[in-house]
Structure 1
Amino acid sequence: MKAYFANGLFSQADFDFNAKLVAQLRTAFPELTIYLPQENAAINDKQAYADSKMIAQADTDELTSSQLVIAILDGITIDAGVASEIGVAYAKHIPIVGLYTDSRQQGATNSKKLAALQTIAENQFHYVNLYTTGLIKLNGDITNNFADLTSSIRKYLS
């Protein structure tokens, strides 16, 4: 089985996170071939040149030949490329497993945090675009930790 790993890759933090998480997933699932776009030097060597059509074609080919998409939902907003990849996967009926680790999702029963929602600019929680997360939930799962991520992936490997 082949999986497409979707996350931003332009900051050193994202690049390193992607490499670390994909290495862990490759160890946990040796039967799973994971395409990590940052490893594709033909389109992502930033010292070289690849135009928008080259990037779109290469990543879409990899995405549509996959049987699973693993999408990272963290960040100020979902990365624009990741949101596009989620849309393509949904349209092609490719299951999607999202990983959303933002710590601001904690405390959902804290009465002070809930009350703060009534005060302008005091939202204690993080917002994730509901359309994009809805596409995932209609065709997959959203998890918030590595153990649940691996359980969800395992479900799709069966």
Structure 2
Amino acid sequence: MNIYFAAPMFAKSDLVYNTYLVKTIRDSYPEVAIYLPQENEAINDKTAYADSKMIALADTEKVLESQLMIALLDGITIDAGVASEIGVAYAKNIPILGLYTDTRQQGGEHPKKLAALQTAGENQFHYLNLYTVGLIKLNGEIYSTEEALLKGLAAYIENSEVSQ
């Protein structure tokens, strides 16, 4: 099984977290192949040169070769590249497992947080683009913890092995 790992990759913290999570998945499921774009030096060595078409063709090819996408949704907004990759995966009916760990989602039933929604500038929750979220949910799932994502991945792998 080929998995495409869609994630922001321009801050050191992004690179470290992506490496950590992909290593965790690789260690748990050595039978799967995970494409992590930051490992593709041909297009992502930022000291070298790759134009927009090279990047688009290389990553789109890997999305289309995958049977599953894992997409990290954290950040001020969903990373533009990740959103594009999600769109390609959705269009090709490739299931997507999203990870959204933003801690502002905690306490969703707290009455003061809910009341704050009625006051301009006091939204206690984070917003994700609902179009992109909808593309994921139409053919996948969004998880709020790494543990839940790994359980969802395990179930997906088990189900895909059963159906083969």
Q: Specify the TM-score bucket, using the shorter chain as the normaliser.
A: over 0.9
Aligned-residue CA RMSD (Å): 0.6
The yes-or-no answer on 1:25 pairing with 2:35 is: no
Match in the other structure for 1:114: 114
C-alpha deviations, 1:76-104, integer Å up to 9, x for none?
00000000000000000000000000000
TM-score (norm 1): 0.98
Q: Secondary structure in 2 aligned to 1:93?
A: coil
Shift in Å, 1:30: 1.1
Matched-pair identity in % = 64
Paired amino acid for 1:111: P
Equivalenced residues, count: 158
Match in the other structure for 1:93: 93
Partner Cα separation in structure 2 for residue 32 and residue 79 of structure 1: 25
Correspondence 1:2-151 to 2 at 5 A: 2-151=2-151
Shift in Å, 1:151: 1.4
Paired amino acid for 2:29: F
Match in the other structure for 2:162: none
Q: Secondary structure in 2 aligned to 1:58?
A: helix
Q: Secondary structure in 1 aligned to 2:121?
A: coil
Q: Which runs of 5+ in 2 are unaligned?
A: 160-164
TM-score (norm 2): 0.95
Q: Which runs of 5+ in 1 are unaligned?
A: none
Paired amino acid for 1:152: G
Runs of 4+ in 1 over 4 A off after TM superposition: none
Partner Cα separation in structure 1 for residue 147 and residue 5 of structure 2: 17
Q: Secondary structure in 2 aligned to 1:10?
A: coil
Partner Cα separation in structure 1 for residue 147 and residue 44 of structure 2: 30
